[in-house]
């Protein structure tokens, strides 16, 4: 008997990027759900981080998926799937397994807002079931058991034992305008006057050879987690609370300061997440300094563990 196959397109399956980790989690769930199926990646291009690879080549994947879909094969498109890319959402076959929908609800740019809302309309029209990487778009969709949120928490594990601390803060920095880097850089320069800061991610010249700032450039996730485990506190980026960086921090018991504009889902109960204002540096510094001396209570992180198998 011929082994059944699932043909899928994944643009990124790297273990040291958010998109890649999310894709690998989804593939793991897919293998469990469709036990006995062989998963075949149709993307034979070398993974790159440039405009052509990220935004043009995926449409080549759409064509390949249509070819297999018309042959009655089971097909799947995993990433990138930002909610604003409505053209991709329109062109993908209706009978396709979609990976988690990503994106942010914090951007106020008029073009982005327009594209985002078009994407929301397309999803409502084309998809009976939708899987979201986080919960920022929950308010745009009616309450339904067919909508699945916070896939990023799939297999999240909160550690009970914590490492000795070497750094006061750890911050993940990428050269991306959506992450609120100007705010983060200014905060880092201020708090590093008295506290040790570990920086993970890209190189920023303004932080080079600064006292109390330790730069770890382009390291893999295992090394990043090791640095996180040696830190006391973290500051999340502007556009997302539940990034893999934040989850790695939470799993190791770090208190994480996050953008107050993002509402924490009610299903998440924790004393580790503390809101600050990304549009008010002085106010945020006061919050940071006032909270640091009061964070010795027992740590907890609880959330609703909904099964994602019903999505398929």
Q: Given CATH 3.40.50.2000, say whether it is the number of domain 167-301.
A: yes
Pairwise CA distance, residues 190 & 200, whole Å: 18
Specify the pTM: 0.89
- Parse the chain into domains and list their residue ranges: 5-155, 167-301
Percent of the chain clearing pLDDT 90 (strictly above) = 70
Residue 229: what pLDDT? 95
Residue 175 has pLDDT above 90, yes or no: no
Residue 209 has pLDDT above 90, yes or no: no
257: left (phi over 0), alpha (psi -120 to 50) or beta: beta
Tens digits of per-residue pLDDT, 102-121? 999 988 899 999 999 999 99
Average pLDDT over residues 140-155: 91
Residue 210 has pLDDT above 80, yes or no: yes
Categorize the per-residue pLDDT at 4 as very low, low, confident or very high, splitting at 50, 70 and 90: very high
Residue 31: what pLDDT? 95
Tens digits of per-residue pLDDT, 290-304? 887 666 678 889 988
Instruction: Starting at the earlier edge strand, list the strands of the sheet with 197-201.
Output: 213-217, 197-201, 167-173, 231-235, 255-259, 273-276
Q: What is the residue-averaged pLDDT of the chain?
A: 91
Phi and psi (nearest 5°) for 214?
Answer: -120, 115
Pairwise CA distance, residues 207 & 168, whole Å: 16
Q: What angle do CA 9, 239, 211 make, to 5 degrees?
A: 110
Tens digits of per-residue pLDDT, 8-59? 999 999 988 889 999 999 999 999 999 989 999 999 999 888 889 988 999 9
């Amino acid at each position: 008997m011929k082994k059944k196959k699932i043909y899928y397109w994944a643009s990124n399956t790297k273990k040291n990027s958010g998109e890649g980790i999310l894709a690998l989690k989804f593939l793991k769930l897919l293998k469990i759900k469709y036990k006995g199926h062989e998963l075949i990646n149709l993307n034979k291009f070398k993974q790159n981080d440039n405009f052509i690879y990220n935004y043009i080549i995926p449409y080549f994947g759409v064509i390949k998926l249509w070819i297999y879909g018309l042959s009655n094969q089971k097909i799947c498109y995993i990433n990138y799937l930002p909610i604003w890319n409505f053209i991709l959402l329109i062109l993908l076959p209706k009978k396709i397994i979609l990976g988690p929908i990503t994106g942010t609800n914090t951007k106020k740019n008029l073009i982005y807002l327009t594209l985002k809302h078009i994407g929301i309309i397309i999803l409502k029209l084309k998809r009976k079931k939708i899987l979201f990487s986080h919960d920022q778009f929950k308010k745009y969709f009616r309450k339904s058991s067919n909508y699945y949120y916070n896939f990023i928490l799939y297999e999240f594990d909160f550690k009970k034992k914590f490492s000795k601390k070497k750094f006061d803060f750890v911050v993940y920095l990428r050269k991306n305008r959506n992450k609120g880097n100007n705010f983060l850089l200014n905060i880092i320069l201020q708090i590093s006057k008295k506290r040790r800061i570990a920086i993970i991610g890209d190189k920023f010249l303004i932080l080079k050879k600064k006292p109390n700032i330790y730069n770890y450039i382009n390291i893999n996730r295992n090394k990043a987690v090791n640095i996180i485990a040696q830190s006391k506190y973290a500051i999340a980026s502007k556009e997302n609370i539940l990034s893999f960086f934040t989850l790695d921090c939470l799993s190791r018991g770090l208190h994480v300061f996050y953008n107050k504009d993002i509402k924490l889902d009610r299903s998440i109960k924790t004393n580790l997440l503390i809101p600050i204002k990304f549009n008010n540096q002085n106010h945020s510094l006061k919050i940071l300094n006032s909270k640091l001396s009061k964070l010795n209570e027992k740590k907890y992180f609880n959330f609703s563990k909904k099964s994602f198998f019903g999505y398929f």
